[in-house]
Chains A and B, each alone.
Chain A
Amino acid sequence: MSTRPPHGAEERDLLAAELAMGLLDGEERAEAEALAARDHDFRAAVAGWSGRLAPLLDEVVPAAPPASLWARIEARIAPPPSNVVQLRRKVNLWRGYSLAATAIAASLALVVVTRPAAEPRSAPPQTLVAMMQSDAGPARLVATYDPATRRLIVAAAAGMAPAAGHAHELWLIPAAGGKPHPMGIVSAVAPNKMDVPMPMASDVREGATFAISVEPPAGSPTGAPTGPVIARGKLTRA
């Protein structure tokens, strides 16, 4: 989108104030944001105005958020490694899992290529990977997702012995938060291949989270996780 850039220092500073205050809407806002994205001085002017007016926020009456909110935030921030050695060990572990996942993906790709009705190939697909794990238990899974084909592969790497009378269900938590979407039962012994349906595919993106919960054999009866979450991980670019 190209429009005339605002002329003159005064005009630019006022535009910065308008963006900082949130006065702009629609295209005007998009244009001002684009300018901020490419122009460091303009960006600084926007921040300057935010800062000038920030003391007004002291007038806002504080309100206690619901007690459950912290748990939701905590669930979304990755657990930090307790020390460097452990981190290195973890990285090595994941490197192994990642290689395994790549090998699985490659073997599947081979199958797809040799099949006559293979999906048409589009622009270079940004494969996404989620390493699912938990502080509490040994379960570790790797999910790889190819947005071009909407093919999701979930493989258990460790600690996922199938328990009698229980199933492991996969959930997708969109990057913007909100309710987990059920994605299906996953097997602990074989890689799981799923085709993500179109309406859900837009939520399988960088920053979204996959989680595995323990559910009755047929899956959660409520459409929301009912059992403990044994592993979770965020989708990142492979």
Chain B
Amino acid sequence: MLILAPRHVPLPYGLRAAFPSPSPRCMLRTMDAPRGSEEGRALGATLAAVAAGDRAAMRLLYERTSAKLYGICLRLLGSEAEAEEVLQETYVTVWRKAAAFDAGRASAITWLAVLARNKAIDRLRTRRAPADDLDAALDIADDAPLAPELIDRQRDGRRLAHCLGELEEKSAAAIRAAFLDGLSYPDLAAREGVPLPTMKSWIRRGLIRLRGCLEQ
């Protein structure tokens, strides 16, 4: 099938050259950005340039993050065709809403990964639902800041792993399956062969303990 794009699309060359001269807004974002890895900061600046309407930055962002985001979509949806559609939706939303990203609140890659995951979950829960509903649902998820404590990703990852390890095994397994495989309460209950209220209480008990552990 022919790709519906203008014939003379900008070529990828010069992308990196275009980058070291960020827009004033981009500079501001970079200066305001919290301490993080060099790579994380670069990604945050890229996202800020995307927010300013820089298409070359958008391409760079896509090159750097699409494999991670596609992996997430693929794992949750289990279908390449759907994962492609959802990935496309994700980046179109990124283009539209990059300004909602707040470098003071979350790392760029976390913001993007959560956005892709939310889109995939929306697709799972509302397969073939009217687009309006999907958009409304996404608008909710997209503009809300992530928890401020999530700036240092490595530290957060270690803490989460530690705290999940403190939970009962069945709670931790259910939480992981919900988050990574997109299983709903009914899915999880069926998979474990337990009544729905039992699964709910496993997860809710786990979440309460998890929150307590993470807040310590």
Contacts and interface: CB of A to CB of B under 8 A. Distances in A.
A and B are interacting partners: yes
Contacts of B185: 18, 23-25
A229 B135 CA distance: 28
Nearest to B121: A22
Contacts, number: 208
Contacts of A213: 2, 4
B25 interface: no
B8 A136 contact: yes
Interface in B162-216: 175-176, 178-180, 182, 184-186, 188, 203-204, 207-208, 210-211, 214
A176 interface: yes
A62 B147 contact: no
Contact of B144 (A43, A52, A62, A77): A43
Interface residues of B, number: 78
A79 B62 contact: no
A53 B160 contact: yes
Given A61-B71, A134-B6, A229-B4, A69 B66 contact: yes
A24 to B, nearest CB: 7
A57 B175 CA distance: 13
Interface string B113-131: 1100110010011000011
B17 interface: no
Majority secondary structure of chain A interface residues (helix, strand, loop or mixed): mixed
A151 B162 CA distance: 60
Interface in A57-90: 57-66, 68-77, 79-80
Contacts of A209: 4
Interface string B61-76: 0100011101110110
A156 to B, nearest CB: 17
A227 B4 CA distance: 10
Contacts of A47: 141, 144-147
A51 B160 contact: no
Contacts of B91: 73
B140 A36 contact: yes
Contacts of B132: 205
A55 B207 CA distance: 15
- The listed residue with most A CB atoms (<10 A of its CB), out of B125, B179, B204, is B179
Contacts of B2: 213, 224-227, 229
28 contacts: A13-B211, A14-B208, A22-B125, A22-B178, A23-B185, A25-B184, A33-B140, A37-B140, A43-B144, A46-B144, A51-B114, A51-B146, A52-B214, A54-B110, A54-B113, A54-B146, A58-B157, A61-B75, A65-B67, A70-B62, A72-B5, A76-B92, A77-B95, A80-B53, A134-B7, A135-B8, A207-B135, A229-B2
